[in-house]
Structure 1
Amino acid sequence: MNPTAESPADRLVLEAVGVALSALPADARIAIAFSGGVDSSVLLDAAARVAGASRCVALHVHHGLSAHADQWLAHCEAFAQERGVEFAAQRVEVSRDAGVSVEAAARDARYRALDALCATRGIHTLWLAQHADDQAETVLLQLLRGAGLAGLAAMAPEYLPAGASAARVRPLLHLLRAQLEQYARARDLRWIDDESNADTRYARNALRHDVTPALAVHFPGFRDALARTAAHAAAAQHLLDELARIDMNTAARDEGRALSQDALLALDDARALNLLRYWLRTLGRVAASTARLTDALRQLREVGEAGEGHALRVDHAGQALRSYRGLIYWEAGASSEPADETALATRVVSQLAWQGESIWRLPQWRGTFVFAEIAVEADGALDEPDAVPISVLSRALLSARSRSGGERMRASGAQKSPSRTLKNLFQERGVPAWKRDVPLLYVGDELLFVPLLGVNRAALHEQADPTEARIKIVWHDDLLIA
């Protein structure tokens, strides 16, 4: 066919892209998730025509699942270059963990990579090429899985996931696969046919090849009907989310990182489960099944009655739901340690030869040490008993190290007071486990300062000059939960 000839499908696709483009600022750049299949090829071609190639970036994720993955990467790069569109790719490793489907693992890895690629380029809009057939298949899959309203709502036309920098937009969601194929043929596009799309061992492929053709014969309007079902479910889910936000205002603690156990248990089961689902989404965590959340709520009610919060443990997606001093929270890792100890993460050691710096930024810890000089009276009195003599900071290299377990410090000023483990001090001060993954500040080989606990008195030694300038050390944590 003549690629310059305009077809009805051509007009529909360009119109859909134009509508999506009109919602953006005039200078906004657009990232297009580009697998090289027919759907994303149509979207990229149309976006370049309507928005202009300079505003578009084609993002390709190399999963390595197919023997042809390298060829697909080369094809996608050439396709983008033909249209003058910037191209970027990222390779990912797909998890093969037991109990997780390859489809789900590949999807999660793909979206993480796409979000990262958008973030590095400062792009806030990611266009995806899903269409009406994809939406119908998604609703059917969710129905067959017994999903709730959030699942039945299927794919939103526009959505900003928690923690993502770019909104996911689906300009073609109301168009049929057949219409996209008509556009591709009219434009004489070349695209990739992924051999895995024919494998009916995958649930979506089974629906696509064996179920929806039969539905189309007996229920020609099934796609529109399922799209309406998704819209109704999305509206109902919106109301449930509004209710959950009201409950979060009462139950949330520590900026939503934890929930009050009493506030949660004051709700009836349906409302409490709704809050737990919403809380998981706000934290950017993987949705949990109704069975998993129901079990968690049962355990919370049981331990609440028994007054044994430490007994709670519900594992989900590499996290453990724990209860500590009236709060519930998700703890990283699947360790078997009791709930009042953190999963210790190891980070690269950072060092600083301190020469009066006021701040020491530690990106791997997502925080900053601040060194503030404190005025000292003539008699040596000062308002900050935890301040450190300036000579202590300069007597050896400073280093920020991860906790390894077993570290001790003397928090009291009394010379003969015993040192105690950090774990014991954290417990005594009621510091929940998710806040304990902090950088330990050493001077030479001596532990000097621990965020949330203070200065290790044993590292100060005796000072000959009580009027020596002092420094107050403060740790500013950008994000307490990763």
Structure 2
Amino acid sequence: MAAQTPQTAPVHLLLALSGGVDSIVLLHALAQFSSRLPYTLSAMHIHHGLSPHADEWLSLCERVCQQLGIAFYSANVHVNLQSGQGIEATAREARYQALDQMRQQLDAQAIVTAHHMQDQSETLLLQLMRGAGVKGLSAMGDWDAERKLFRPLLQVSKADILQQATALQYQWVEDESNTDISYDRNFMRQTVMPVMRERYPQLDSALARSASHMAEAQSLLDTLAGQDIAACDVREEWLGQSVDIQRLRQLGDARAKNMLRYWFQQLDLRMPNTEQLQNYWQQLSTVKPHRYLHLPLQGQAVKRQAYLHHYQQRLYCVGKPAALPKTPLVWQGGKSQIWGDWQVQFKVSKGRGIALARLGVHPAAITLNKRYGQAITLAQGLELMLFARAGGESLQPDAKRPRRELKVIFQMLAIPPWQRAFYPVVNVIATQPSHSQTLVSLASLAIDAAWRPGRNAYGLEISLQPLPNHA
């Protein structure tokens, strides 16, 4: 009997369905092709609430999908009109966030959008007006791997789309805001492009070629940046990466800034504008070897922040997690606990961490914990608690040396300054025979000598990681 080849699940596409003629034509086309090609199709409408007709658009999208037998989803999003980014950019960001959340829920491989040739032309000219570089002038590609966006109509003209919709008597909606030329794209579409097309009939195809040339150039720049970042000794760090700043400087201004742009993109950070990047590079290229420097960056996700840090001849690009909670965490004897926006891991290890024997833990309890994950119970009257540092604390990691302030221990262990606030102090609280509080460790970074286990004894190692949505 021949072995059977395992069946792979068909590709799942999620169409961004606005209800306008472009996405309606694409919906019908994809629905028709899905009977002949191996993919599953779903559609999603984003209700921005910005138009008095928004409910009607939602109803039309749902009705057409029902007629075609296409799974339909919708989401209401809030558009922050005070974001400072402009209503177009803010609405677009809210829309793509909602679409990507649904894509992940459905385990879809791509979000499909109905951008066409004229959209491409407008995008390139708008980017040119903003002084964009090669990446911006690449406009839109058929496939955006980073954001999982598929744009199959980029080579199709608006006229062809309208002709198809009219001939087949499709229903669609017209967004009344499309005539408002106070929006940059509408001004370009309604005022500038018609005049240019009258003089240059092949305008859209010519701009599409230019965007394609720019995309090729950007690909070469990315390849060079990838080689440069590897040559700069890139290393994985806590919440980010670091590179050798001396090697970065040796690249020269243009290649160094190209590498920084590529690096930020790889770490899912928003690209600084030209002025910001030039300012950052000016500081980084002149900073003294022993001077600490930090510069803010903005993440793609809402409220996510990151920083560039210069420390000991390396340039770090790392996220900024939420602060440790002010309320202490009491260990419940398990392997993991949530503490504010952090996950705290407790690991029983031989010869490392805080001595469990000093906490009155019986060897049998350690065996049950390691074999079956059973919670560990401390001796009666003892508690193990984690606190955010208050300042001025000290430990004695080496019994042959005096106690040292934690800030000195951080310096001795070369812990970068921005990480130091995220190492909690661990205290043992005793209530019998009298109340006392003893500082026993700085997480598992430094253990007081009096609380360190012997080589063959068991201890408790403590480590923290920010929860995924708070890194």
Q: TM-score, normalised by structure 1?
A: 0.76
Alignment of 1:12-27 (within 5 A): 27=10
Contact 2:398-2:448 at 8 Å conserved across structures: no
SS of residue paired to 2:251 = coil
Q: Paired residue for 2:282, among 274, 298, 306?
A: 298
Is 2:166 the counterpart of 1:185?
yes
Alignment of 1:156-305 (within 5 A): 156-161=141-146, 167-251=148-232, 252-254=234-236, 257-304=241-288
SS of residue paired to 1:475 = strand
SS of residue paired to 1:36 = coil
| Structure 2 unaligned regions, length at least 5 | 1-7, 300-304, 362-375, 430-436
Number of residue pairs aligned between Structure 1 and Structure 2: 427
Go from structure 1 to structure 2 and tell me whether the alpha carbon gap of 1:263 and 1:99 turns closer, same or farther (over 3 Å shift): farther
Contact 2:139-2:211 at 8 Å conserved across structures: yes
Contact 1:138-1:154 at 8 Å conserved across structures: yes
Superposition deviation, residue 121 in structure 1: 2.1
Letter in 1 for 2:414: G
Letter in 2 for 1:84: G
Q: Quick one: distance in 2 between partners of 1:141 and 1:226?
A: 12
Aligned to 2:11: 28
Q: Quick one: distance in 1 between partners of 2:164 and 2:447?
A: 68
Deviations 1:228-253 (A, max 9, x none): 00110111111111110011102222
SS of residue paired to 2:308 = strand
Go from structure 1 to structure 2 and tell me whether the alpha carbon gap of 1:248 and 1:366 turns closer, same or farther (over 3 Å shift): farther
Aligned to 1:321: 308
Contact 2:353-2:444 at 8 Å conserved across structures: no
Alignment of 1:23-422 (within 5 A): 27-52=10-35, 55-96=40-81, 99-161=84-146, 167-251=148-232, 252-254=234-236, 257-304=241-288, 307=289, 309-313=291-295, 319-330=306-317, 344=323, 353-354=332-333, 357=334, 359-360=335-336, 369-374=345-350, 383-384=351-352, 386-389=354-357, 391=360, 394-395=377-378, 403=388, 406=391, 408=393, 410=395, 412=397, 414=399, 418=403, 420-421=405-406
Aligned to 1:473: 461
Deviations 1:395-445 (A, max 9, x none): 2677777x4754946362549954744x66444422235655757486786
Letter in 2 for 1:223: D
Contact 1:30-1:124 at 8 Å conserved across structures: yes
Q: Quick one: distance in 2 between partners of 1:370 and 1:102?
A: 47
Q: TM-score, normalised by structure 2?
A: 0.77
Q: Which moved more, 1:283-292 or 1:345-354?
A: 345-354
| Structure 1 unaligned regions, length at least 5 | 1-24, 334-341, 375-382
Fraction of identical pairs, as percent: 32
Contact 2:13-2:111 at 8 Å conserved across structures: yes
Deviations 1:11-34 (A, max 9, x none): xxxxxxxxxxxxxx7612111122
Q: Which moved more, 1:187-196 or 1:385-394?
A: 385-394
Contact 1:321-1:329 at 8 Å conserved across structures: yes
Go from structure 1 to structure 2 and tell me whether the alpha carbon gap of 1:254 and 1:468 turns closer, same or farther (over 3 Å shift): closer
Q: Which moved more, 1:152-161 or 1:75-84?
A: 75-84
Deviations 1:438-479 (A, max 9, x none): 574867867766556244678x59x9xx89962342538599
Go from structure 1 to structure 2 and tell me whether the alpha carbon gap of 1:40 and 1:411 turns closer, same or farther (over 3 Å shift): farther
Go from structure 1 to structure 2 and tell me whether the alpha carbon gap of 1:253 and 1:405 turns closer, same or farther (over 3 Å shift): farther
Q: Quick one: distance in 1 between partners of 2:69 and 2:328?
A: 44
Is 2:438 the counterpart of 1:453?
no
Go from structure 1 to structure 2 and tell me whether the alpha carbon gap of 1:410 and 1:231 turns closer, same or farther (over 3 Å shift): same
Superposition deviation, residue 224 in structure 1: 0.5
Deviations 1:279-312 (A, max 9, x none): 11101111121221111111112213xx453245
Deviations 1:309-363 (A, max 9, x none): 3245356575443322223234557xxxxxxxx8626599987632xx5x42759
Contact 1:54-1:85 at 8 Å conserved across structures: no
